[in-house]
Chains A and B, each alone.
Chain A
């Protein structure tokens, strides 16, 4: 049986300062510092890669020397369990570990609101900073929106690569964010007025370790941030950042289901694209959705054909084995929307313009061009593309695109400060909120406490689902001090 698909998203936001001396690294630091000054005490991210007691199960308390903390770039942990930091000249937010795709949507939306609050805090300090939830600047520079999924270590990596690639190549028709123009070097200007994905122009390999150059469709980073003997974390770099909540749900929910099927060896080997790198670009460059790609067995299929087969298999899998691995509510909702989007794309596309980002954006671009008689290369159309992702309330176009929402605004608001209750992020977030001065550092798989005496104490969290509210909620409520807590944790 597939293990729980604990998951999360890391988003690098585009950032722009006004003025000729704009430095994106400094701007990103200013943005985050402004937010932290306005909201909470800072707790540093802990870069120490050592895992004392690598085979520890659940909680054990180890003594440790002070970890080395890198301080030159802002890097912090929030009380909702997320990480907020400067990465590659962009502000980046990693959601806390979530149990379901619906929770990922909630924390992804909270991330957007954290960026908006940061922009307001920076403005109050006199700096106008513009942030965009997109993945390229239209000039060949790309930055990522990565997903992470927990998988059983025993699943052969070769099987994952063989079976998931068709989904990664084709899922963009369902969850792509859309882009005016092309940034692929082999495409002549004007050849691709509009394409499905922000990211597809930037993939050059089928499999590999890179994330910033020669980007691979399947990334091989093996850094589980949990017990490496039991788990791997599949790091997915092929996706676009979504403005549509439904798109985020389906992006993460459908992918989690496909990975659960692969883990259970229930997907099969027959759905393999012959040339994935060429195919991902060809599919993105064809918003008519009619172009076929060659499969390894000689068939030709459209991306929608591939998604239809995956959807049918996922539906059958859910009926036979249930949705425990991805969460019953989130899994069934993701399946419903996946089905509805695939049907809409194959029929009247306007029906899904309120949930599919690339369709919503395409409708704006085409209707605007028609109203004003604009050529495809007109800068106003690229401005619509950029402003679709603009997080300024007075400039953003996604918020005007009549997109459907899934999460109640009060749920988004609470996710800005409150951690998920059903993963170890609960322990991280609650400790930070309760003892901000005594948690000296944190990372995904441990917390470091400074009790005012030598030495620092590290609490490893090698199990992503332990440390949830059911397991440690009462313990945290009853502990008056971190010393209390550590005394109770040390069995």
Chain B
């Protein structure tokens, strides 16, 4: 039997987006819990933290693209020619 990650809550979650999703599902859980009205501020805080995190993550991603993108992208794209296959 293969060890695999389940869509939610099981196994190893990889990547920052997975973390964001986990926070969001916790948030949904909080909303449906009986104590929901007690701490409305923390919900917003989770959302704000999640969206800041997402933005920071995309910024990191763009930095990485800048690092690894072919230095002469135009030549690389122009010279990328394949023979047709199946």
Interface residues in chain A, defined as those with a beta carbon under 8 Å from any beta carbon in chain B: 12, 14-16, 24, 87-90, 102-103, 106, 136-144, 146, 211-212, 237, 329, 333, 336-337, 340, 350-351, 353-354, 363-364, 367-368, 371, 379-380, 382-384, 386-387, 394-397, 400-408, 411
Contacts and interface: CB of A to CB of B under 8 A. Distances in A.
Given A16-B80, A138-B80, A212-B84, 9 more contacts: A12-B86, A371-B62, A379-B73, A379-B77, A384-B65, A396-B68, A400-B68, A401-B61, A406-B4
Contacts of B58: 363, 367
Contacts of B69: 380, 383-384, 387
B15 A403 contact: yes
Interface residues of B, number: 37
B26 to A, nearest CB: 15
Contact of A142 (B18, B21, B62, B84): B84
Contacts of B79: 16
A211 B13 CA distance: 38
Interface in B54-86: 54, 57-58, 61-62, 64-65, 68-70, 73-74, 76-86
Contacts of A24: 82-83
B2 A411 contact: yes
B34 interface: no
Interface of B: 1-7, 13-18, 21, 54, 57-58, 61-62, 64-65, 68-70, 73-74, 76-86
Contact of B7 (A142, A336, A395): A336
B84 to A, nearest CB: 4
Contacts of B15: 354, 402-404
A397 B16 CA distance: 16
A295 B8 CA distance: 35
Given A368-B65, A380-B69, A400-B65, A406 B5 contact: yes
A142 B85 contact: yes
A88 B86 contact: yes
A212 B85 contact: yes
B86 A237 contact: yes
